[in-house]
Amino acid sequence: MKKIIEGLHNVLFDESSDNKLECLNETVFIKNVFLSLSKIMKEEFNDYLFFILSSHDANVIPSSAVYKSKKKKVLIFMSDESGALPDYLSSNYYAIFKAYMHNDPIASANIFNFSLGCVREVPQLPIVPLDSRKNSVFFIGNLNNPRIKFYSSLVSMFLPIRVPTLNRLSVIKKLVVSIKSNFDNRFPNSHIRFTNGFRQGITPAKYGKMIANSKIVLCPMGFYSAECFRHYEAMRAGCVIVSEKLPDTFFYKDSPIIQVATWEEGLKKVSQLLDNPLELEKISYSTRMWWNEKCSEHATAQYVNESIQQLGAQFETQPYYCSKSLA
């Protein structure tokens, strides 16, 4: 096992991970979460052994599952976008925190959701006042299969393409993007563009600047999940977010993120917001507060601590037992 944070000897990188630690999008976010958690928990932090696992396999058996320790083992499971509940690992850890789960788990008492965080190369920039931001609406991203309906809602405003044709975009998307990929004119002073692949649009540094200078950010679905890093990067910058429906979890329930059933509805909502600067400003402020209180590194650390303390209260009446091997 590899130690991942200097000075924190009880935070390790699980050897069963798909990627190297330095290749993870979430590396910086996770490190900051644990630096905050160590300060929140103080001496109690050393009673636990934390393992970071990055795997796209919903049925992976982490090396740490059979790792023997006198400390209470906690697993942070990243990268699997399937939404699967890792209850098969429940008895091997004191607690499990997993990103991309569809709902807050109830089947297993020691499994919790985890924040996605932000991509490490996307810079966190000073907050720009909303009325000083250059871009009214921003989106740049790959035209993947789940985004066909999003593209359809935009392209129908410009090209006479029938819906049955749009449903076949997964086959001919490169041709389609070459015909129409730029929708900047859909809204005034906006940047709305499609690319042919992941990270083929602009650099992360420029992307961060674009986010920071945008009033509204559109968040269509990723390859497998409605959740994506774009939500967190836009929250951090205090943008107003229009998104497809998100899981009903701690990180999104009652949030100021505007969730829509269709992109026709979403684009209509964008027009309404651009005509109402006061409402736009109000939602922007609420989004920034939501980031600070629910989704930031420090807020995520508080959530992890509160979840662990909740387990501790349960185990006062029901003794904790962690198996040494998978059944």
CATH 3.40.50.720 fits 130-294, yes or no: no
Identify the weakest region by mean pLDDT among 48-62, 157-171, 250-264, 281-295: 157-171
Question: How far apart are alpha carbons 293 and 299 in whole angstroms?
Answer: 5
Identify the weakest region by mean pLDDT among 4-13, 169-178, 268-277, 279-288: 169-178
| pLDDT for 163 beyond 60 | no
Measured CA distances, 314 to 74, 92, 231 (Å): 16, 17, 33
Query: What's the whole-model pTM score?
Result: 0.89
Q: 246 with 263: CB under 8 angstroms?
A: no
Identify the weakest region by mean pLDDT among 96-105, 142-151, 205-214, 316-325: 316-325
Domain ranges of the chain: 2-120+297-315, 130-294
DSSP 87-128: GGGGGG-SEEEETT-SB---SSTTEEE------TTS---PPP
**Whole-number CA gyration radius for the chain:** 21
Q: What is the pLDDT of residues 70-103, one digit of tens each?
A: 999 999 999 999 999 999 999 999 999 999 998 8
What are the start-end ranges of the H helices in the chain? 27-41, 148-155, 163-166, 169-179, 204-212, 229-236, 263-274, 277-290, 297-315
**What is the structure's pLDDT at 157?**
56
Q: What is the pLDDT of residues 107-149, one digit of tens each?
A: 568 999 999 999 999 999 999 999 999 999 999 998 888 888 8
By the 10 Å C-beta count (0-12 exposed, 13-18 middle, 19+ buried), 296 is classed as: buried
For 2-120+297-315, CATH gives: 3.40.50
Q: 226 with 244: CB under 8 angstroms?
A: yes
**Fold match, 2-120+297-315 / 130-294:** yes
What mean pLDDT do residues 298-302 have? 98
Q: What is the pLDDT of residues 231-247, one digit of tens each?
A: 999 999 999 999 999 99
